[in-house]
């Protein structure tokens, strides 16, 4: 039986859906596409997750490419996208079951420093203790760089082969496998995820 279960956050524990965040502010059409492109798909978001720039830097840089009418929306998105956290279906139940069965649970996520503000609002986070939350911006590293996994193993004194990693990004999963972790791509289908975890020897119900 594998000993350690490692969760990504977005699209595994919670639904990270930028188009939904933008629509919640009432933007549609070209304005919505501009916000999606310049806020969430710009180079700044990656640098924010790496910890190289601040949220204010993201806002200022994105606003330099956006019309004035979208500046407040940019600020709202950068600093408040998590205000209505939506859990991924079945995630809390899976986390709870694994906790009750005695599996040590970890988080390995690409996220900015704001992670520390909102993570406790995700259902099931009570079983993912702060000391086992490994966040990219804390270490200035990003998945799928091999260094972030190696630092994760070092930080928690883990043997890669003892870990099962769950991530929605195939590139992140492939990198984890190359370094010896057992890993599963979560495609939003909880029944499939549970089946694949059982195939890896994890004791979960169908």
How confident is the model over 160-177, as pLDDT tens digits? 999 999 999 999 999 999
- Average pLDDT of every residue of the chain: 97
CB atoms within 10 A of CB 103: 20
Q: Write the CB contacts of 167 (distance below 8 Å, at least 6 apart in sequence).
A: 8, 12, 108, 143, 173, 176, 183, 184, 185, 186
Nearest to 132 by CA among 87, 99, 170: 99
Residue 69: DSSP 8-state: G
> pLDDT exceeding 70 applies to what percent of the chain?
99
Query: For residues 76, 82, 88 and 92, what is the CA-based torsion angle, rounded to 10 degrees?
Result: -170
Which residue is associated with the tokens 């990504």? 8
Q: Tell me the average pLDDT across 72-100.
A: 96
Among 3.40.50.1000, 3.60.21.70, 3.10.450.50, 3.30.470.10, name the CATH number for the domain at 4-15+86-199.
3.40.50.1000
Ordered by start, the domain boundaries in the chain are: 4-15+86-199, 18-80
Q: Are strands 163-167 and 4-7 parallel, antiparallel or unpaired?
A: parallel
Q: Tell me the average pLDDT across 47-62.
A: 98
Confidence of residue 2 (pLDDT cuts 50, 70, 90): low
pTM, two decimal places: 0.96
> pLDDT exceeding 90 applies to what percent of the chain?
98
Q: Write the CB contacts of 187 (distance below 8 Å, at least 6 apart in sequence).
A: 168, 193
Nearest to 59 by CA among 109, 114, 122: 114
- Predicted confidence (pLDDT) at residue 1 exceeds the cutoff of 60: no
Sheet with strand 163-167: strands edge to edge: 133-135, 105-109, 4-7, 163-167, 182-185
């Amino acid at each position: 039986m594998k000993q350690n279960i490692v969760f990504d956050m977005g699209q595994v524990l919670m639904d990270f859906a930028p188009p939904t965040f933008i629509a919640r502010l009432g933007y549609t059409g070209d304005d919505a596409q501009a916000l999606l492109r310049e806020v969430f798909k710009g180079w700044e978001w990656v640098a924010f997750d790496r910890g190289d720039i601040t949220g204010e830097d993201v806002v200022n840089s994105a606003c330099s490419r956006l019309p004035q009418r979208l500046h407040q929306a940019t600020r709202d998105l950068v600093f408040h996208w998590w205000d209505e956290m939506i859990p991924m279906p079945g995630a809390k139940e899976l986390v709870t079951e694994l906790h009750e069965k005695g599996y040590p649970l970890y988080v390995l996520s690409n996220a900015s420093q704001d992670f520390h503000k909102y993570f406790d609002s995700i259902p099931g986070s009570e079983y993912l203790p702060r000391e086992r939350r490994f966040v990219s911006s804390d270490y200035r590293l990003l998945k799928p760089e091999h260094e972030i996994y190696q630092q994760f193993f070092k930080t928690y004194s883990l043997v890669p082969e003892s870990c099962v990693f769950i991530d929605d990004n195939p590139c992140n999963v492939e990198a984890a496998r190359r370094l010896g972790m057992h890993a599963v791509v979560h495609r939003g289908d909880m029944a499939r995820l549970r089946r694949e975890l059982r195939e890896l020897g994890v004791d979960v119900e169908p």
